[in-house]
Amino acid sequence: MTTTHRKSPTTLPRLLGGLDAAEGLTALDRHVGFHGALPVQADPGRPDPILIESVRASGLGGRGGANFPVARKIDAVLAQRGRPIVLINATEGEPPSRKDHVLMRGAPHLVLDGAVVCAAMVGAHEALIALEAGSRREFAALDHALAEREQRHVDGRLKILLETVPDGFVIGEERALINALNGGPGKPTFAPPRPFQKGIGGAPTLVQNAETAAQLALIARHGAEWFRGLGTAAEPGSALVTLTGAVANPGVYEIPLGAALDDLLAAAGGLAAPVRAYLIGGYFGTWIDAAHAPGLRLTNADLARLGGGLGARAIIALPARACGLTETARVARWLSEQSAGQCGPCVHGLDAIAGAMELLARGDGRQLPDLARWLQMVPGRGACRHPDGSAKLIASALEVFGDEVRRHTIDRKCTGDGTPVLPIPASTTTGRPR
Ligand SMILES: Cc1cc2nc3c(=O)[nH]c(=O)nc-3n(C[C@H](O)[C@H](O)[C@H](O)COP(=O)(O)O)c2cc1C
Ligand code: SF4
């Protein structure tokens, strides 16, 4: 790795820079003109220790939802025997999230550069980028970018391959994804072995989210100190957020971690209607009462005080005209249908929970005591965190919409106007990951 940092934007946008033009940075020349050339090449079989230390110093956490430190994953991969492989998880099956799609369409070279940086860190010979079959425009953008790079021999001996997997929510879980890419069903396997031990073709596999890869592409150019120039000491850098619901301009925004929710809302043109609550973290996230919004900072640490976290950083502003219980019941049903159907507590538990939520939304509180019990029973009982994330969302709804629970069950009244707010993909409402 060279230490030349060609250009050092200390303000935003970083990842989204250059994307306001019609074609964004889809062409290699425009990408290099804006970001500068990537000062790193993968040297298969030879991990790059300087690059690894730079990423360690940056404190980058994975942007796919769990915020797991990237450097620790690299250490884990390098501690294994065998030739490592890189897998960029570009599935983004979370319905309210669009950040990875926006990146892949507008800045495909940044994601590809990130795959190169991952490969350089672990000395991989091969990097796979996995997308859902339905992500056709994103596939086309990456495919075009890859062809340009191959023509100009940009990535040396590193082989970069695009792969598609069936659409679905749980297939984005890394073991389900690897299982599908290995020719099996897109269902999580029971751990261990974990991907860093045995992943693609049995090789130690470094799995990083598409945005994480793009962040790495910038860290390789500008260094750890630059990266830490935004964000907080514990949660450094910028991050992409998909903001939807009752805001004037819904879309994908780049924020410094630790930004105030108020500032994000202002950047989106403000609220389009009075808001009852915010769903923060996507469908594994938590509802936060709008009363907590003023002054709320967007970090995992700040949200943890309210029982939440940033998750995949999809934020939905729920308008006061909507019923939080009805909305959560719709998502609960969808989440239960997304179960990969192999762990009893997940299959039966989530179905029962969704049924109880549907009853509640219709004003029937008969199953409320059972619901509270089931929500405590399912977490930690599946091969993946699907039941945990689903239960967390529903438990937060019962807490934040406590007044609605009383209104539904005692007054038999739902004040929602019935117009759905939270997105549910039409094509997968009855389907499990195929
Ligand atoms: C049910 C489920 C769905 C997931 N879906 C995605 C996804 O769509 N994209 C993603 O990057 N990570 C997803 N993850 C997280 C991945 O398992 C994995 O942690 C991530 O890709 C690692 O990348 P990161 O460390 O860069 O965030 C999902 C996890 C679970 C439990
Ligand atoms: S916990 Fe649910 S989604 Fe996860 S592997 Fe088991 S059945 Fe599938």
DSSP string of 290-332, one letter each residue: GGG-TT-B-SHHHHHTTT---TT-EEEEEETTS-HHHHHHHHH
Tell me which residue of 247, 397, 252 sits closest to 330, measured CA to CA: 397
Structure tokens at 19: 């994307």
| Ligand approaching nearest to the C-alpha of 185 | 2
Q: Residues lining ligand 2, CB < 6 A? A: 170, 187-188, 339-343, 346-347, 382-384, 386-387
Give 372-418 as a DSSP string. Answer: HHHHHHSTT-SSSSHHHHHHHHHHHHHHHTHHHHHHHHTS------S
Specify whether the CB–CB gap between 113 and 38 falls below 8 A. Answer: yes
- What is the position in ligand 2's atom list of the atom closest to the CA of 387? 1
CA dihedral 126, 3, 62, 48 (to 10 degrees): 40
Contact partners, residue 410, CB within 8 Å, separation at least 6: none
List the pLDDT tens digit at each of the 434 positions of the chain: 433 334 445 689 999 999 988 888 999 999 999 999 999 999 999 999 999 999 999 999 999 999 999 999 999 999 999 999 999 999 999 999 999 999 999 999 999 999 999 999 999 999 999 999 999 999 999 999 999 999 999 999 999 999 999 999 999 999 999 999 999 999 998 878 999 999 999 999 999 999 999 999 999 999 999 999 999 999 999 999 999 999 999 999 999 999 999 999 999 999 999 999 999 999 999 999 999 999 999 999 999 999 999 999 999 999 999 999 999 999 999 999 999 999 998 999 999 999 999 999 999 999 999 999 999 999 999 999 999 999 999 999 999 999 999 999 998 889 899 899 999 987 543 333 22
Q: Is 224 in the pocket of ligand 1 (CB under 6 A)?
A: no
Instruction: Give percent helix, percent strand, percent coil of the chain, each to the nearest 5.
Output: 40, 15, 45
What CA–CA distances, in Å, run from 309 to 38, 285, 411? Answer: 33, 7, 33
What CA–CA distances, in Å, run from 103 to 98, 203, 342, 374? Answer: 9, 28, 33, 38
Tell me which residue of 145, 132, 267, 268 sits closest to 217, measured CA to CA: 145
Q: Output the pLDDT for position 6.
A: 42
Query: From atom 1 of ligand 2, which residue's Cα is the shortest distance away?
Result: 382
Query: From atom 6 of ligand 1, which residue's Cα is the shortest distance away?
Result: 172
Q: Output the pLDDT for position 427.
A: 52
CA of 103 to the centre of ligand 2 (A): 29
- What is the position in ligand 2's atom list of the atom closest to the CA of 347? 7
| DSSP assignment letter at 431 | P
Q: Output the pLDDT for position 426.
A: 78
Contact partners, residue 230, CB within 8 Å, separation at least 6: 10, 11, 12, 14, 236, 237, 238, 256, 257
- What is the position in ligand 1's atom list of the atom closest to the CA of 91? 8
Q: Output the pLDDT for position 11.
A: 86
Contact partners, residue 330, CB within 8 Å, separation at least 6: 420, 422, 424
| DSSP assignment letter at 228 | T
Q: Is 96 in the pocket of ligand 1 (CB under 6 A)?
A: no
Of 343, 348, 388, 428, the one to substitute when testing ligand 2's pocket (max ligand atoms within 8 A of C-beta) is 343
| Ligand approaching nearest to the C-alpha of 379 | 2
Q: Is 385 in the pocket of ligand 1 (CB under 6 A)?
A: yes
Q: What is the pTM (predicted TM-score) of this model? A: 0.95
Query: From atom 5 of ligand 1, which residue's Cα is the shortest distance away?
Result: 172
Specify whether the CB–CB gap between 219 and 258 falls below 8 A. Answer: no
Q: Is 65 in the pocket of ligand 1 (CB under 6 A)?
A: yes
Query: From atom 9 of ligand 1, which residue's Cα is the shortest distance away?
Result: 92
